[in-house]
Amino acid sequence: MTTAPRRIDVHQHLVPPLYRDALTRKGITEAGGRSLPDWSPEAALESMDLLGTETAILSVSTPGTTFLTNPAEAAGLARRLNDFSAAVAAEHPTRFGWFATLPMPDVHASADEAERCLTSLGADGVTLLANHRGAYLGAEGEDALWRVLDDHGAVVLVHPAELPAPPVDGIPPFAADFLLDTTRAAYLLVRNGIPGRYPNIRFVLSHGGGFVPYASHRMAVAIAGDIGRSPRDILDDFRGFHFDTALSSSPAALPTLLAFARPGRVLFGSDWPFAPSAAGQYFANGLDSGVAPGTLAAVNRTNAEALFPRLAGAAPAPAPARPLPARLRESAQRAGARLVFKLLQPGAR
């Protein structure tokens, strides 16, 4: 009998009805070149059972609240999203956690909402888009937010947004632009010394860190030439990030990520429901078959337990009332590769 991996998924999204309605009113029907997926707690739990995921930390994906240019409206939507997320987690305390949505680029309103969520609502951390209407993380003027997050030792999921430039026809943003967006934010965070000045913040870079592991030495040389720091120290800052495996545990990407990241800094991520269950199964299989058992256990669970102590040593979640048939797992495995490569075709939806 195979033991369930009891994964902790740090990169899983929710699309509450109130959020979908707010987007629809603005004529927004997709994110990153992908149609907004259907979501419900029940569908999330079914997908989690398929992947062997015990707990998922939920977050709102791009565009967050950035599509609202009125600061009061953005702050109000963030508050409602966070109240909704807290309620979902309270209803399923062993299965869901959540990252708070902040109304960036309003730094002070974001600091206030982070304080509320981390102090009163029990958020497991916060989500920050790599850029908010062109304002990147790591730029000047964000210290009020960093101070609050540092005081709480907060976990910050850095999630990409669409680049502040027109998309290239035929290239959906999620396929390439998202990776660059995360990389730009990581570059500025390191260049401007945010990890050193606020050492208690634990940053998690989405999708294997974008291009960070692959281009880290090149970026370190550029930053060293710009500000005069040692390239070795700069590389240490890049390696100090945490990284999730969402859509990134392929035979090409995973070895690079594991070779670059510090031990204990790689975390499981699925990107569901923007990545359908079959795609999640495809990449989960790449992880399950591509690393040593000790590393696999760390990526699946124990590395996340260090970030979320409330999950450490937690009893296994009850088995689903109707266990998923093995044929569903096998079917997902067979369909996964076909679906992933279809999704990556230009113009795919």
- Domain ranges for the chain: 7-343
C-alpha to C-alpha distance for 62 and 19, rounded to whole angstroms = 11
Task: At 242, give phi and psi (nearest 5°).
Answer: -95, 155
In 3D, which of 273, 272, 280, 211 has the Cα closest to residue 241?
211
Provide the residue-wise pLDDT of the chain in tens; the chain has 349 residues.
457 789 999 999 999 999 999 999 999 999 988 899 999 999 999 999 999 999 999 999 999 999 999 999 999 999 999 999 999 999 999 999 999 999 999 999 999 999 999 999 999 999 999 999 999 999 999 999 999 999 999 999 999 999 998 889 898 898 999 999 999 999 999 999 999 999 999 999 999 999 999 999 999 999 999 999 999 999 999 999 999 999 999 999 999 999 999 999 999 999 999 999 999 999 999 999 989 999 999 999 999 999 999 999 777 776 655 444 544 444 544 455 455 545 544 444 4
Helix (H) or strand (E) holding 96: strand 96-101
**Using one digit for the tens of pLDDT, what is the confidence trace for 139-160?**
999 999 999 999 999 999 999 9
Which CATH superfamily hosts domain 7-343? Metal-dependent hydrolases (3.20.20.140)
| pLDDT at 348 (0 to 100) | 46
Which DSSP symbol is given to 291? S
C-alpha to C-alpha distance for 238 and 95, rounded to whole angstroms = 31
| pLDDT at 165 (0 to 100) | 87
> What are the residue ranges of helices labelled H in the chain?
17-25, 41-51, 71-91, 107-116, 143-151, 177-191, 194-197, 212-227, 231-239, 253-260, 277-290, 293-297, 303-307, 326-343
| pLDDT at 166 (0 to 100) | 86
Reading the block at residue 261, the tokens are 């990241």
> What are the residue ranges of helices labelled H in 92-140?
107-116
- Angle, alpha carbons 311-7-316 (nearest 5°): 55
In 3D, which of 195, 109, 114 has the Cα closest to residue 154?
114
CB atoms within 10 A of CB 241: 23
Q: Are 203 and 241 in contact (CB under 8 A)?
A: yes
C-alpha to C-alpha distance for 47 and 276, rounded to whole angstroms = 9
User: What are the b/e assignments for 152-174, b being 16+ CB within 10 Å?
Assistant: bebbbbbbbbbbeeeeeeeebbb
pTM of the model as a whole = 0.91
